[in-house]
Every structure is written in structure tokens, then in C-alpha cells.
Structure 1
Amino acid sequence: EDTDLVFITAGMGGGTGTGAAPIVAEVAKEMGALTVGVVTRPFTFEGRRRTSQAEEGIAALGSRVDTLIVIPNNKLLSVISEQTPVQEAFKVADDILRQGVQGISDIITIPGLVNVDFADVRAVMADAGSALMGIGMGSGKSRAREAAVAAISSPLLESSIEGARGVVLNITGGSDLTLHEVNSAAETVYEVVDPNANIIFGAVIDDKLQGEIRITVIATGFTGEAQSAPKSVETPLNRRPIAPTPMPPTPKVEPKSRPGLDIPEFLQRRRFPRGPKE
């Protein structure tokens, strides 16, 4: 009771998380809490049955939370090395969930350069439906823009955040984080989302990040087209199938009934024209 924000995290596809998460979400939302689901979709190698159960669980959870962020574990294959052990890979997946939750909670609970009111976060995430999350790191002279670009083009994103109408932006850096860097990162995100998007951003200080900046972007409020799969480019050659050029029908040759078949004289003249008369 009296809880403003509830996070529900689970690895979908098994029994506990898939079955319990929707029930917990329903209770939390009935109590008036802003309910956010942050879950993972199983690796393909975990089998079709687990994948099917995960999709059913994600659908059930999506109808009971305000915002649902789904992290596809398969996307992790592009951000971890080939030598990463299986157990370590699952730890990476769990840490991504943690970063998603922390990216939202920190800008509310931790005082920073730019503080965010919970009501602002609720305005963006209440009844928002499906959301995308990107995380980026940056270092060096252009670290703010570098981190922002990495976040909005993160391998974890199943589709582009272009056109998002609601964004929660967390900019975290060490004590050397400047206001100009915050502005640079925010402008980079502004360039790709809807011009009229409701963007809530906070800047948090974490002394562990000296020399680095971490940016977490939660994007919501998509139209159906914005999250659609990339369309194939239509060219003059593939616009429509080219029908084969019709060939004239081959004359039907009547089988000879006997070797000594007589050929009419006018046909003989057509086939074997006579030479000029002497």
C-alpha cells in the first residue's frame, strides 16, 4: 500500500516469472501504483516451447502494466564476446534488467544536476504500453554525444526510437559531468524522437563513473508504423514480377501414318522453291 512505483522484472519463458508476473502486475496497478515491467525474452537456443511460453507471458503482462520493456536475450549475442561462458551471459542479461530499473528510479530518488518529479515520470509512462530501452557509454572529449548516440542505436533495441512521443532520459556521470554535456546528450536524443515528444530527463552524479558518462533512454508512445519491421526498398526491377514474353504456339506436327506420305504440290513449292528457268 501507498507505493507509487512498482517494477516487475522476470525472465520470461519459465514457470515462476511467466505465471506470477501478470498477477503481481494486476494487483499493483489496482492499488494505483505506476507499474513497469522489465523482462527478458529467452535465447533462441532455449527451445521453441520456452519461447512460446514467453510470448504468452509477455502478452499477459503487457495488458496489466503501464509500461512494458522487453529485452531480447538474443540481442546480447552482439554485445558479448564469443568466449563468454553461458553463466556469464545470463548474468549480463540480468544486469541489463538492473540497469533498466535503475535508469528510471535513479532520476527520481537521487539528487543530481537536474532532478525529476515523479509526476513527470508518471505522465510519460502511465498507460504507455510497449517501450524500448537503450543504454550507451561514452568517454573522452565527446563522451556525452557518444553515449547518447550509443543509447539510441543500442543493439538491445528491437526497432528504432524514431518518432517516440514519450522519453525518459537518464544521464549519469561523475562529479566532472557538466551542464553543457547534459545539453549535448539531450539534443542528440531530441533529433530522433517526435518534435512534440514529452521528454523527461535527469542528470545523476555517480563518482564511480569518473571520465565516463552512461545514458539510459526509455522511449514510449509509438505509432504502429514506428515499430514496424524495416520495409524492403522497392526498385523498378522488383516492383512487380516480369511476366515471360509469350511465345507463339508451336504448330502441332501430325505423325506420319506411313513412310510414303504424299505432300501436296503447293507445299512442295513453298518448302523447296525452284531455281530460275534457263
Structure 2
Amino acid sequence: MSTNHAEMMFALAEDHAPKILLVGIGGCGCSAVEVMMQSSLAEKVTLAAINTDQRELKLTKAPVQIPIGEVLTKGLGAGAMPHVGEQSARESIQDLEALIQGADLVITVSAGGGGTGTGATPVLLEVCEQLQVPTIAFVVRPFSFEGKRRLVLADTLIERCRNLAGTTFVLENAKLQQALGADAKLDDALEAANHYINELVSGLLATIDSEAIARIDFAHLLSVLSGKGVGRGSVIESANSETIIEKVADFPLLQSIQPVEDGDSNAKILMHIWAPESFTLADYAEINEALHEQLSSYADLTSGFSVWDKPSFRVVLFVNHIST
């Protein structure tokens, strides 16, 4: 193959890279996008922020900013009222349609319980469905101390997303609270939540990263994350391969998956491993075999791995439960 032809093929591959749009909606979503702006995600996806609160929107410094409901809210926010967030999104529906055009995948990040995120997220997902653009929704469920009203609204958002998005991943702030401990400062907890979302999304997209040693193609990713399931994800870290096998095998979300003896499992598992250069094919096979042993050889498990310059291991694991 000539050098010129090789360069043309490389350029063609670059042109056909999937166009992924990540949209933060409402206060929580915009905060998450602000963190992502400082990470490697900013180079791999188009980051956008949507809000009724124009002052908060500008703080994200996202390259794409969509103020919604300017007539209804005057740019002052939705007042924690989901119906205002929804009406604002419908007022600005043409802007949302223009945002979505040309995307191959839209990932939304929002919190349930407030006004803009709870109300506007389903509208954006509706637009995606109408334009036949695949979607993945990340929804943050509030702390229990935020009150039953916010929890009920969050659960309503989760259900609406489940009926619209390919997969809805639920992030429980209550579990984050347990992990950080009672003495954690509020600012630290909110920052940790944003970084956790960043790590999960990074892990999800790492499965199709061209720099990964073992990866899947974009169509396979969409297949795994389809079916309007409700998913959970987790970041697991370990100093060595032996411990990571134990931690992955003991992953709590896997315990709810019933072993199957045919191809009708109602769960799809997606895993990506970051490992040091010493990581071998045997190590990779052992982790996959451990999971198959626990879930049966018929489990729908998709995995990949990347090499990094750290001596430790990181695994991002997603479980997508499909309603039957």
C-alpha cells in the first residue's frame, strides 16, 4: 500500500468516527460538564450544556450552551418545578433539534428532583427518538436527606428516561454518601459525584476507543446499550490482577443476575479494564472466565482493555437490565 493511499484510508477512518454528543441538563448536568471540560473527554465528544438558569449555564464554559425557556423563565431558572423545565424545553424545541442534528449518539447527564433536569431531559430524549438518534441517559438520584418529594420526582424521571433512552444508568447519591462517610464535606461530596460521572462516561467510551488494545465497534456498543433497560455502573480499582478478579466477581450488581442455560439472559454486561504493561492475555482471560463462571457461559458479556502507565488496575463495569 502506498503512503498516500494509507493516509487517505486513515483520513477516511477519522471522518467516519462516531459523532458523540454529551449533554448536561440542569444544575447537576452543567456541573458534570464543567468537570468533563477539564478531562480527556473534552477531546472525544462534543460537550453541551442546557439550562434555564443562564448565569449557571455560562459558568460551565461548555463549547455549546443552550439556554431554554428564555420567554417563560427570563433566564432565571425553573424554580425546582419540573413542569417549568419541560415547558422551557418545548419552548426551545427548535434549538434542541438543531443541537441533535448529525449526532450518532447522545448521552444525557441530569439529576432527578429539581426543575430543569427533571423536566427538560425527557423532552430532549423525545427529540432524539424522533430524529432516530440513539441515546444513553445518566440520572443522578438525590440524597435521602433531600426529601421524599425530590426522590419521587427522581423516580418519575428515571421511568420517563427508561421509556425513551436506549439505557438509563442510575447513579445513587446515597451510595456515594456511604462511601465517603459522614464526615465528608458537602463540596467534596458534590465534586466526587461529578468526577464519578466523568469516570463512568470515560469508561463507557473507552470500549470503542481506537487506542484501546481490545475494543468493540460502535454498532456493538449501541447493541449492548439498547432495549430500554435500567443500568448501573461502577468503577473498581485494585493494586494487582488477583484482587481485581475478586472485586469484579463480587460486584454487587452481578448478584441479581440469574444464571441462564440458554441465550435468554435479561442482562447485558459491559466491562473495560485499564491495566499496566505487565497485563497478559492470560490475566485478561482469567477475569472474563471468572465472570462467565459466575454468570454462566451464556451471559452477554462484552469486554475490552487498555494499557496505561500506572502500576494499578481500574475496571469500569456496567450492567444493563432489560425489561422482559
TM-score (norm 1): 0.71
Structure 1: give runs of 5+ residues left out of the alignment: 225-278
Give 1:141-152 correspondences, 5 Å limit. 142-149=242-249, 152=251
SS at match of 1:109: coil
Identity of aligned residues (%): 25
| In 2, Cα distance between equivalents of 1:39 and 1:23 | 14
Matched, 1:29 2:129: yes
Paired position in structure 1 for 2:303: 201
Deviations 1:221-267 (A, max 9, x none): 4567xxxxxxxxxxxxxxxxxxxxxxxxxxxxxxxxxxxxxxxxxxx
Contact 1:167 1:220 in 2 (8 A): yes
Paired position in structure 1 for 2:286: 184
Paired position in structure 1 for 2:276: 174
Contact 1:165 1:194 in 2 (8 A): no
1:13 aligned residue (88, 101, 113): 113
| In 2, Cα distance between equivalents of 1:33 and 1:42 | 28
Tell me how far 1:55 sits from its aligned partner.
1.4
Tell me how far 1:121 sits from its aligned partner.
1.3
Tell me how far 1:130 sits from its aligned partner.
1.0
| In 1, Cα distance between equivalents of 2:148 and 2:301 | 38
| In 2, Cα distance between equivalents of 1:78 and 1:159 | 20
Contact 1:174 1:205 in 2 (8 A): yes
Deviations 1:171-196 (A, max 9, x none): 11233332222222222222333542
SS at match of 1:94: helix
The Cα RMSD (Å) is 2.3
**One-letter code aligned to 1:165:** A
Tell me how far 1:170 sits from its aligned partner.
0.8
1:82 aligned residue (182, 185, 188): 182
SS at match of 2:256: coil
**One-letter code aligned to 2:179:** V
Evaluate the alpha carbon distance shift between residue 186 and residue 159 of structure 1 in structure 2; reply closer, same or farther with a 3 A threshold. closer
Structure 1 residue ranges, 4+ long, deviating more than 6 angstroms after superposition: none
Matched, 1:100 2:197: no
Tell me how far 1:66 sits from its aligned partner.
0.6
Deviations 1:74-115 (A, max 9, x none): 111221133210111122222222222111111112422212
| In 2, Cα distance between equivalents of 1:36 and 1:168 | 14
| In 1, Cα distance between equivalents of 2:322 and 2:222 | 17
Contact 2:241 2:283 in 1 (8 A): no
Return 3-12 or 185-194, whichever deviates more: 185-194
Paired position in structure 2 for 1:160: 256
Give 1:214-253 correspondences, 5 Å limit. 214-222=314-322
Matched, 1:2 2:102: yes
SS at match of 2:294: coil
Paired position in structure 1 for 2:161: 61
SS at match of 2:180: coil
**One-letter code aligned to 1:136:** I
Evaluate the alpha carbon distance shift between residue 159 and residue 149 of structure 1 in structure 2; reply closer, same or farther with a 3 A threshold. closer
SS at match of 2:154: helix
| In 2, Cα distance between equivalents of 1:33 and 1:192 | 35
Tell me how far 1:25 sits from its aligned partner.
1.5
**One-letter code aligned to 2:120:** A
| In 1, Cα distance between equivalents of 2:121 and 2:301 | 28
Contact 1:144 1:182 in 2 (8 A): no
Tell me how far 1:158 sits from its aligned partner.
10
Evaluate the alpha carbon distance shift between residue 8 and residue 14 of structure 1 in structure 2; reply closer, same or farther with a 3 A threshold. same
Contact 2:274 2:315 in 1 (8 A): yes
**One-letter code aligned to 2:256:** S
Contact 2:125 2:135 in 1 (8 A): yes
Evaluate the alpha carbon distance shift between residue 139 and residue 118 of structure 1 in structure 2; reply closer, same or farther with a 3 A threshold. same
